[in-house]
Structure 1
Amino acid sequence: MTTTRTPATSGPGVARTPGELRSALAGAGRLALVPTMGALHEGHRSLMRLARAEADTVVVSVFVNPLQFGPGEDLDRYPRDLPGDVRQCAEEGVDVVFAPDTATMYPREQMITVDAGTMGERLEGASRPGHFTGVLTVVAKLFHLVRPDLAVFGEKDAQQIALVRRMTADLNLPVRIVGAPLLRDPDGLAASSRNAYLSARERESALALPRALSAGRAAADRGPDAVRAAARAVLDGAARAIPPIALDYLALVDTATFDEVGADHTGQACLAVAARVGSTRLIDNVTVRLAAADIGGTPEGDSS
């Protein structure tokens, strides 16, 4: 028999090893995990609130996972602030912060990994080879260590959450995956730890990303080609801005497979974009509802 906990009031316990984690989770009841790489912001806090509403005990993991960073990416400069992260977790009633170091998570060379398959080779996977293998491997390890009943992921990383859902289904992992709506800053930019890298002028240029997605969503009743064209028109203009946006990809894809949708596709689709502003790479997405032109469409899924 487990003991139902009340949310932590004096701050979460911080566990740094699997043994400390097991001790901290004794009598946990229904357990929710929020996996993060730290540098927490309001978007992460919205995940914690969703987890808090669904579980007796909430664990937030804070681990900058080197396995998902490729050569030349921002592993070394990725923001780290564990004391600040713990304070934010305390304010959201988190029970345990699991903050292992790299040697704890990868005590030897990681020979066995979780292959993300062809779905992991598209969009983010094409731009960042091996990224999703690193993501799925660390998520699988966290699921094994924490043993959550549910795990909460942000829908800003749409391809990531789709792959995590597929992994849990394909490997029969007993974890329910909960998607939390994408959260935006007041100016419309998707909340992200990497927003801290942007200068004021770069941030102004970056606002073309949510504008492009909104333009694409507004064209949903005219079909997939119109959605892509409307979004691209905004991004073409942003490429001439100072500083310019350098587009990585713009894609309209099936939400389950991340295959590009055809011109006759109806129903739900994900309009996803990735671009660089200065040295900072940003991603964003919006869900659109595509319908035949004579029926009309009802866009949905944006949380801006």
Structure 2
Amino acid sequence: MKAKEIVLLIFIIVAGVFFYHVQAGKIDVVWDDFIALDFNEYTYQETQVIEPPLPASLKVLNSHGQVEVLGAETDRITFTFEKRIWRRNEEKAREVADELHPVVNKGDTAVTITTNRSDFKRRNFETNFRITVPSGMPVEVTNSYGLVRADQVGETMIDNRHGEVSVTNIRGGAVIENSYEDVEVSGLESNCTIRSRHSDISVKAVPGEVNIENSYGLVDLRGDSQKATITAPHTEIWVEDVSGPLEVRNSYEKITLRNVGPSRLDGSHSSIDVDGLAGNLEINDTYEPISLKSVRGNLQI
């Protein structure tokens, strides 16, 4: 085989591996938002107020940017819309800023806030929302490639692909989906469901049921929950001060329990460390050591 043929073969193999990982989501490439090295950043803001009467809930649809929804003692919705635009000069950036705007639909059941991003063939911009709503208002956010934060609102649903999520002080429960960025949850009044991958997840002070699905990351659950189920292969798991029934399934990473209730642990190549367990303990595991202290109940291994 000639040298050129060898080089071509190597190139084809490398390209194939690269595009496979892009397709699988292991490499993050956003083709329509590629920012050239010689582009400059320009930022523009505008503010809008949505007057009462308001529908019962808020829905936000965004992409490539941040969304913050904060509850407050108010009877209206106020939001700041920030446009971060990359262009070669301010004139070009201003042309985009003049055309890029929020879109508000005040429906019967929800206020929907989104943008006209789809109108642009060439993008190279981010859109950020900072929204203040009446405290306790239910919120649904769909976003990607940026932080989503919710605080002092009602029932919360967040879908944030490739984006960090922070949910605090919620008057109700939360359902969260994301990937590749951290998830932090604390101070809910009801149940919490999290579906993620390649993320570090921290959950504290959730009195209802907790269901977590993750892979290739970390799960840290603390606080008295009614029941907790964690399914997280290739993920280190720490659970502390959870008195309700606990089910954990993982592989190839450590499971640590501190001061928990009845538990079932299913692991594969997972080391297990338990210190303080009130109730029955069932363990199914292979190939790794198990350390047990202060288990007050029946034990099955």
TM interval, shorter chain, is under 0.3
**As a proportion of its length, which structure holds more helix?**
1
Higher strand proportion: 2
- TM-score between the two structures when normalised by the length of structure 2: 0.25
Structure of higher CA gyration radius = 2
Bigger relative contact order, structure 1 or 2 (CA pairs below 8 A, ≥6 apart): 1
